[in-house]
Amino acid sequence: MPGLIAIVGRPNVGKSALFNRVVRRRIAIVHDQPGVTRDRISAQAEWEGYPFTLVDTGGIGLLRREKADDVIARAAMDQVELAIEAASVIILVVNVQEGVVALDREAAARLRHSGKPVLVAINKVDTSRAETNVAEFSELGFDKLFPVSAIHGEGIGPLVEAAIALLPKEGLETPVRAAEEGGPGLPEPSKTAALKLAIVGRPNVGKSSILNALTHSERVVVSPVPGTTRDSVDVPFEIETQGVRQAYVLIDTAGMRKTRRVDDSIEFFSVKRAEESIARCDIVILVLDAESGITEQDKKVADKIVSERKACIVVVNKWDLMDDAVRAEREEEIGRRNRKENPNGPKRMTTLSEFGEWVQGSLFFLDYAPVIFTSAVSGFNLDRLLEAVRYVADQLRQKIPTAILNRTLQDAIERRQPVSSRGHRLKFFYATQIREAPPTFLLFVNRADLFSDAYNKYLGGQMRGAFGYEGCPIILVPKSRPKTIEPIRKFRPPKRSSPIPRGRTGRTQRSAHRKA
């Protein structure tokens, strides 16, 4: 297991910028406003062949106009304490432009009390004048001072190398060096890679609460204040089922509000990180609020999932708070719909399956996703959520034999022929699966432009009925097959006529031309 290095310090000293610089990716949101980072953000990093885990944390100390009993501030501080406790090496980040302040001394005292090795990263050393102020940070009581500039990448190498040297020696030998010395070398790639699950939805629907309930920990900050989560936080965990361990990475994301209601640049970047999480995950868990029902913004988030062609599970959270009034409203709505479809026998929603049908009817463009009703507070149905994740993952990985695929499509086409367009009819020749996640099928046809959206939906439904693919989008890609047979009647240019002698009339010239 790689060693863990934690980056700590007071607010707005450049911790997230240093974190992004070391991992060589833009993971944490960097902003001039203090207190942007609240959760522990971890990432697997590597420096010159040495692997380790790097953790970014929120600021130590209260911000201006922030009270000690503030629920978000208290939870963010708890996350910092957990990071310090788990770390093997701690990097204390300070700001050379502001010098040593009271919060720096407070942070240093906490770190000395932890007994962990501490390196001081003196950030924002961009000029020679700033370098002269480095020595004053020796009053914090730590010997190893490293002037760095996280924005410009100056001084990062010596800092990281010194931190790696303090990590536990077990498993610290680089794979490259082991291979050179005749050791085992690079490890074999894992056959069962960690499955990435992005938890997305509107603000304050319980995304972070579900993550904490699944991992049985207070891994991310939870509060009733909308917009608590800002960064996308990756949380790895494992589950053992029938002797087989499956690794997962839960991605907690910020709430996705309407674009016109995004107040500042921090929330803008938070929403962008959430959208990036949808794009890079394997399965999306769309969380809805049972009390407020399905809103317009829920449908927009679902549309984003469909446009990214991601497998999905719909979770209706806070089911324990679903009061009788909301239940009656849902029952009346489905009753009106059923009365239109079947006036003689209106039906009331009395079971979870009927509520699930109502959800799938409202999100008709995402009707392939299973619906799970949960409560993160009471733990209701969280085991069913994990079962649904395993089931959808298995559906996502299945490979359809080509012969069975073509037989299924042939039967579907015989049951319903494609409608002709402008005197031309779509013809199918052959089909094959070219990708598993998402399941993508290449269809060879006579003309790809005749493959309509309606017929695409029909064939997708027929394939879903034959092969399952619950929770997975089915992508059909038509491709025009090139013509391999030359046309029987070829165009023959007319022979060139012999020159017409001068002095003949126009009528004689036309007659001579016809004879020629």
| Domains of the chain, residue spans | 3-180, 195-397, 398-516
DSSP-assigned states of every residue in 14-60: SHHHHHHHHHTS--S---SSTT---S-EEEEEEETTEEEEEEE-PPS
What pLDDT shows up at residue 180? Answer: 41
Tokens for 487?
A: 């046309």
- Measuring CA to CA, which residue among 177, 262, 215 is closest to residue 382? 215
CA distance 272 to 115: 39
CA distance 236 to 412: 42
Task: Indicate the angle between helix axes 156-165 and 15-23, nearest 10 degrees.
Answer: 80
- CATH label, 398-516, candidates 3.20.20.105, 1.20.1250.20, 3.30.300.20, 3.40.50.300: 3.30.300.20
pLDDT in tens, 249-274: 888 887 777 665 555 555 566 778 78
CA distance 357 to 334: 9
What pLDDT shows up at residue 61? Answer: 66
Does the structure show a pLDDT above 50 at 186? no
Structural contact between residues 290 and 318, judged by C-beta atoms closer than 8 angstroms = yes
Does the structure show a pLDDT above 70 at 120? yes
Percentage of the chain modeled with pLDDT above 90: 25
Band of pLDDT at residue 342, cut at 50, 70 and 90: low
What pLDDT shows up at residue 327? Answer: 57
First to last CA, the chain: 92
What pLDDT shows up at residue 411? Answer: 93
Q: What is the largest CA-CA distance in the chain?
A: 119
Which of 97-106, 176-185, 298-307 bottoms out in mean pLDDT, i.e. has the lowest?
A: 176-185
Q: What is the mean pLDDT of the chain?
A: 78
- Measuring CA to CA, which residue among 464, 469, 474 is closest to residue 391? 469
Which of 53-67, 194-208, 313-327 bottoms out in mean pLDDT, i.e. has the lowest?
A: 53-67
* Secondary structure of residue 512 in the 3-state scheme: helix
Of 173 and 271, more confident? 271
Same fold, 3-180 and 398-516: no
* Secondary structure of residue 239 in the 3-state scheme: strand
- Measuring CA to CA, which residue among 367, 376, 362 is closest to residue 317? 376
Tokens for 96?
A: 């050379």
pLDDT in tens, 382-415: 899 999 999 999 999 899 999 999 999 999 999 9
Which of 55-64, 376-385, 479-488 bottoms out in mean pLDDT, i.e. has the lowest?
A: 479-488
Nearest 5°: CA angle at 155, between 150 and 159? 95
Are β-strands 41-47 and 311-317 bridged in parallel, bridged antiparallel, or unpaired? unpaired
Instruction: Write down the architecture of domain 195-397 according to CATH.
Output: 3-Layer(aba) Sandwich (3.40)
**Rounded mean pLDDT of 46-63?**
81
Are β-strands 41-47 and 50-56 bridged in parallel, bridged antiparallel, or unpaired? antiparallel
What pLDDT shows up at residue 126? Answer: 82
Percentage of the chain modeled with pLDDT above 70: 71
Instruction: Write down the architecture of domain 3-180 according to CATH.
Output: 3-Layer(aba) Sandwich (3.40)
CA distance 363 to 460: 17
**Rounded mean pLDDT of 173-190?**
44
